[in-house]
Amino acid sequence: MSTMFNLASINVRGLRNPVKRATVFSHLSSICFSVCFLQEVHLKDQNDVERFTREWVQGESRWSVGGVHSTGVGVLCGNRELKILGSFSAVHGRVLVVDIDWRGKSFRFINVYAPPTPKERKEMLNELDAIFMTNRQVFMGGDFNVSYDRGNLGGHLVKSLIDKYNLVDTYRVAHADDPGFTWGNSRGARSRIDYVFVPRGLGVSSARVTPVFYSDHSCLSVTVDLKTIEFGKGYWKINNDILHDKTFDTRFRFFFKGCVTMKSFYSSVIEWWESTKLRIKIFIQNFCKDKVRNNHKEFYKLQKEIENLHIQSNLNNGGLDKDTLGILKKKQHAFFEKKAKDFIFKSQQDKWENDEKCSAYFFKQIKSQGKRRTISALLDQDGEMVEDGDGMLGVATHHFSQLFQKQTINYEKGTTFLKCLDVQIPFDIRDQLEGELQLDEIYMALKSMKDNKVPGVDGLSKEFYIVFWDLIGCHLLEVFRVIFGLEHMGGSMCEGVISLLYKKGDPKTLANWRPLTMLCVDYKLLSKAITNRLSSAMAYVVGLDQTCGVVGRKITWNLQLHRDVQAYLEERHLQAITVNLDQEKAFDMVNHEFLFRVLEKFGFGNNFVKWVKILYSNVGSRVNINGNIGNVIKQLRGVRQGDPLSALLYVLYIEPFACAIRTNYNIKGIKLPGGDILKISQYADDTILYLQDDLSLKEAIKVIDDFSVASGSK
């Protein structure tokens, strides 16, 4: 099926004359466009709108009332395949916005008829930012009454607008040097003031300017390729804005009390909690649908009031009530601000802050950052390129299912490394870690979580738990205690969603994408509570040369140490070998069996080890490729990037390797002033070895190989 899309734009210089209107419509029907922007149609009132709509029979149309002798704009669909989702006049008679569905994809088309005077044109163009606040691809065309690409005074505003929103001038893409004049008069004056702008990156197949007999403007016709990435719906996430709605708060509290009364009908509180979270989701979705419906009614009521002001002005041949118009436009802008915030939330940006102005720059940044999560093609295991959504999802699912497969390790080799561990946590610390979970621990974990993070598959955010903690907290504690007794979590707590973030290199290679696992907040609360307990024990068992995960230690220590060592060696004219170790998929290749043995060797008690086993038993993840969610992949190895506990578990997991390097007498390090010997420096999986000679390097490589066999790391 062709993905070519034809756009046209023309200033028709009036359509109120029925003979001319029939002539223009007949001509437009012959040029086979998909969407056409019309300017200066001279609509007087709603009767004209209905008449024009009825007479354009090729497809749907939308119109914006202007003056009898000037302004008025329209957007025509050239066939019935295009369905209009909604429309509104951003500036009556001059800027019309139409949202259209074409083959299951949504686009926004903006028709502009700019005022001829510089002052009015500047005021209007400066008001357009709000209409770009959408997750749809935006196309803009029309008569801008100024030439922007010849250094024309005032053209910088148009240039600034298209640069700000990453649009390109289609005619200039197709014809770099052709002047492409779109307007001329009998005195020989000519200029290019009509444009069609499309998103950067779309292929412009052709652009042409064709004179017409019914206007002093030519018709600008453009063909672009709308081949786009197939985006899925993703999964539902709560919009935190509703948490500030008093009506929602009241209704939810009543609703949740009803959920609590149902607890006795379930076989376990875990089952009840899973069912309740699903009911919460449905309750919130229904509330939001009603709210959106009411908001749209209010918005279209505003639109009608503004339109009536213009119609009344035409009928009375008088001026507009500018004070009333200003109040209505202010309310309209507030609606767009809300829409923008909703888009930002859906874009999963955790840098958003509620008090940050929803500026054009910030909005553009949101879209730009979203591109780091968009995948257009992937190479499969045979090196073949896959571009369709289902195919890419299959490639990614296969990749991670292989990555998370349990690997065979050498138990005896593991025992050798564990013998290097000669410290254990103190008994009093062990006892603290063994105690039953308390409500204040879970609340402390909740308060310490960062704001505006993307939730897991249940869609419930940290902010939701904060607002309703007085309702939910005690029930969540009960759920956690039952989980400990039954040694398994509920379905949603076991499941993560892997989101991929581009790092560098060929984007078609999955290895160049960082996997981040989105986990449900209830899981993260449990994991964070266990993490907070574990933090108190880390300093007792982790060597001083590892700075990750130990309270009071910083990565800057490693950086400063490396600089000091380099300076020391140069100053003393000493030779040494530094080896930077890059562990392949460090967090993803943690062997659970070896990890549990490490915990036991360090003296962690049965209850604590049991918690860790629960958090990593029967867990899995689904891959998210452009909003398309795959099947569950069982995670039989690895600690998840996104789990609060992961970093600390990894540090403990890698500590036997560091101890083996430290205690190996055949590995000679660098002797520092004061007599200390430096062999290794670590921050999580970033490891640097400081070695004296080649024999030490050879022995270190042997330790690395042995640890790979013992633990599964590479």
Interval 604-630: pLDDT, tens: 999 999 999 999 989 999 999 988 999
Tens of pLDDT, residue by residue over 238-295, are: 999 899 999 999 999 999 999 999 999 999 999 999 999 999 999 999 999 988 787 7
**Distance between CA atoms of 581 and 685, rounded to whole angstroms?**
8
Confidence (pTM): 0.75
pLDDT above 90 covers a percentage of the chain that reads 62
Q: What's the per-residue H, E or C state across 134-176?
A: CCCEEEEEEECCCCCCCCCCCHHHHHHHHHHCCEEEHHHHHCC
pLDDT averaged over every residue in the chain: 88
Cα–Cα dist 44/313, whole Å: 10
387, exposed or middle or buried, with CB in 10 Å at 0-12, 13-18, 19+? middle
- Whether residue 512 has pLDDT greater than 80: yes
pLDDT of residue 388: 86
Lowest mean pLDDT, pick from 507-511, 516-520, 695-699? 507-511
Averaged pLDDT for residues 699-706: 94
What integer is the mean pLDDT of 202-211? 92
pLDDT band at residue 353 under the 50/70/90 scheme: very low
What's the pLDDT score for residue 306?
66
**Whole-number pLDDT of residue 325:** 64
Average pLDDT over residues 650-656: 95
Phi, psi torsion values for 634, nearest 5 degrees: -65, 130
pLDDT bucket at 348, cuts 50 / 70 / 90: very low
**What's the pLDDT at 75?**
98
Averaged pLDDT for residues 448-452: 92
Strand arrangement of the beta sheet that strand 219-225 belongs to? 61-64, 73-77, 35-39, 4-11, 219-225, 203-210
pLDDT at 174: 93
Average of pLDDT values for 397-414? 91
Q: Region of 145 please: left (phi>0), alpha (psi -120 to 50) or beta.
A: left
Check whether 76 has a pLDDT greater than 60.
yes
Please tell me which residue, 585 or 463, carries the higher pLDDT value.
Answer: 463
Radius of gyration of the chain (CA): 32
State the pLDDT at residue 676: 86
Q: How far is CA 605 from the centre of its chain?
A: 40
The C-alpha angle 546, 547, 548, rounded to 5 degrees, equals 100
* Average pLDDT rounded to a whole number, residues 515-540: 95
- CA pair distance 133, 360, nearest whole angstrom: 8
Question: Which residues are within 8 A (CB) of 367 and not within 5 positions of it... i.e. 6 or more apart?
Answer: 166, 347
Question: In this structure, what token pair is assigned to residue 710?
Answer: 């013992």
Residue 350 in tokens = 């955790």
Q: 355 falls in which pLDDT band (50, 70, 90)?
A: very low
Q: Does position 464 have pLDDT exceeding 70, yes or no?
A: yes
pLDDT at 113: 96
Evaluate if residue 309 carries a pLDDT over 70. Answer: no
Q: For strands 680-683 and 686-691, give the pairing.
A: antiparallel
* pLDDT recorded at residue 203: 85
**Predicted pLDDT of residue 419:** 93
What does the pLDDT read at residue 351? 41
Per-residue pLDDT for 354 more than 60? no
pLDDT value at 357 more than 60: no
Nearest Cα to Cα of residue 112 among 68, 73, 168:
73
Dump the DSSP string for 569-604.
Answer: HHHHT---EEEEE--TTTGGG--HHHHHHHHHHTT-
Element containing residue 379 per DSSP (H, E): strand 378-379
Task: Answer whether 350's CB lies under 8 Å from 452's CB.
Answer: yes
Q: Which residue pairs from 671-678 have beta carbons closer than 8 angstroms and sit at least 24 positions apart in sequence?
A: 672/565, 672/568, 673/568, 678/545, 678/561, 678/565
pLDDT at site 350: 41
The pLDDT value recorded for residue 40 is 94
Predicted local confidence at residue 396, as pLDDT:
93
| pLDDT, average across residues 684-691 | 91
Instruction: For residue 328, name the pLDDT band (cuts at 50, 70, 90).
Output: low
Compute the 3-state secondary structure of the chain and give helix, strand, coil in percent, each to the nearest 5: 45, 20, 35
The Cα–Cα gap between 554 and 672 comes to 21
CB burial readout 480-495, b (16+ within 10 A) else e: bebbbeeebbbbbbbb
| Candidate from 51-65, 311-325, 417-431 with smallest mean pLDDT | 311-325
Distance (Å, whole) CA 383 – CA 615: 36
Using 50, 70 and 90 to split pLDDT, how confident is the model at 346? low
CB 634 within 8 A of CB 645: no
Three-state DSSP at 328 gives helix
What does the angle CA 211 – CA 213 – CA 218 come to, to the nearest 5 degrees? 30
The DSSP output letter for 408 is P
